[in-house]
Amino acid sequence: MQPRLAFAYDPQFTEHVFAAEQLQRLAGLCDILRHEPLLELTSPDAKAILAETEILITGWGPPQLDASTLAAAPKLRLIAHSAGSIKYFIAPEVVERVAVTSAVTANAVPVAEFTVAAILFANKGVLQFRDIYRRERRHLRSHPLMASGLGNYRKTVGIIGASRIGLKTIELLAPYDFELLLTSTSTTPEQAAALGVELVELDDLLARSDVASLHAPALLSTRHMIDARRLALLRDGATFINTARGSIVDQDALLSELVAGRLNAVIDVTEPEVLPAESPLYDLPNVLLTPHIAGAIGGERERLGTLVVDEVERFVRGEPLLYRVPHELLGQLA
């Protein structure tokens, strides 16, 4: 008998995650109790489905899963999350009792790709040249910036955090002629050497980097880790990239540096998630501000669905899960 499966997420946020072929694979692996995802888990209909559910696929906009969920779903054996972080909706007691797998590794790919593009553009002075060209509308071969220190050859790039995204970014940067620095409390010097990076303290990384890219988790211990003192360590004209979480950066301190024109920034995440309409960050010429698009969007989301279906197939076949979330590491996750 096939295991029984249900979905629980907000469908408006999960379009394109499961292509038709992946849904067909799921139908061949499981008995799908209902194709429409559950938006809540407390109604009689939802509880009736939960009572029979052995595999629950979640995604963006999921209902909270806690001890009451376990009580309502006594047969539940696997939660397969088709997005990134789980800590905002899955309670620790659930991870202790039920196997939980996440597509965070698949979501790391587009974030790392976005980061590499931002690094390459930053080192080429794209924002500066865009504004000069728009203003002067002439050949710029004789412009002083052409003979400046811009360019991607032998630049120093600092990666803050050996997260999945940080490590994927390092992997994608390997073919370039960069000096790569890494700050990480979980990486040994031997591991750093194998990655082709120099392991350094955070202050040293900031002081030496032409571009510093943030890939640390948002924890109480990392809140405002990048503060005014540390931002001041960055050299004049350096670029700071944040695709992690806005809370890790003292945004007022960063804004002061950016308004002064001393630093450049690529900012994909902020605190709050959507800035007030009057925020100067929208209009500063040395800032590329994007609305949290580094992660999977559009067709990139199919990669998440594929990972989840692959994990479900492994589970059904009794094979080890490749992307299981260890319950003892739940407090360290982004």
**Is residue 158 scored above 80 in pLDDT?**
yes
CATH of the domain at 201: 3.40.50.720
Q: Are 315 and 172 within one domain?
A: no
Give the global pTM: 0.95
For residue range 97-153, list pLDDT tens digits in order: 999 999 999 999 999 999 999 999 999 999 999 999 999 999 999 999 998 999 999
Name the residue range of residue 190's domain: 108-289
Q: Are 205 and 225 within one domain?
A: yes
Q: Are 119 and 251 within one domain?
A: yes
Q: Are 59 and 184 within one domain?
A: no
Confidence at residue 13, expressed as pLDDT on a 0 to 100 scale: 76
In the set 34, 292, 314, 327, the catalytic residue is 292
Which band of pLDDT confidence, cut at 50, 70 and 90, is reported for residue 2?
very high
The amino acid that residue 240 corresponds to is F
Confidence at residue 333, expressed as pLDDT on a 0 to 100 scale: 66
Kindly state the average pLDDT of the residues 61-70: 96
List 199's β-bridge partners, or say none: 182
Quote the percentage of the chain above a pLDDT of 70.
Answer: 98
Q: Are 51 and 79 within one domain?
A: yes
Q: Are 118 and 238 within one domain?
A: yes
Q: Are 147 and 43 within one domain?
A: no
143 among known catalytic residues: no
Q: Are 220 and 313 within one domain?
A: no
Query: What is the three-class DSSP state of 261?
Result: coil
Cβ within 8 Å of residue 256, ≥6 positions away: 228
On average, the pLDDT of the chain sits at 96
Give the count of beta carbons closer than 10 Å to the beta carbon of residue 160: 28
Q: Are 228 and 113 within one domain?
A: yes
Confidence at residue 45, expressed as pLDDT on a 0 to 100 scale: 97
- The total domain count for the chain is 2
Q: Are 57 and 152 within one domain?
A: no
Q: Are 173 and 255 within one domain?
A: yes
Q: Are 96 and 118 within one domain?
A: no
For residue range 220-253, list pLDDT tens digits in order: 999 999 999 999 999 999 999 999 999 999 999 9
**Is residue 165 scored above 80 in pLDDT?**
yes
Is 264:281 a contact under the CB 8 Å cutoff? Answer: no
224 among known catalytic residues: no
In the set 4, 25, 215, 245, the catalytic residue is 245
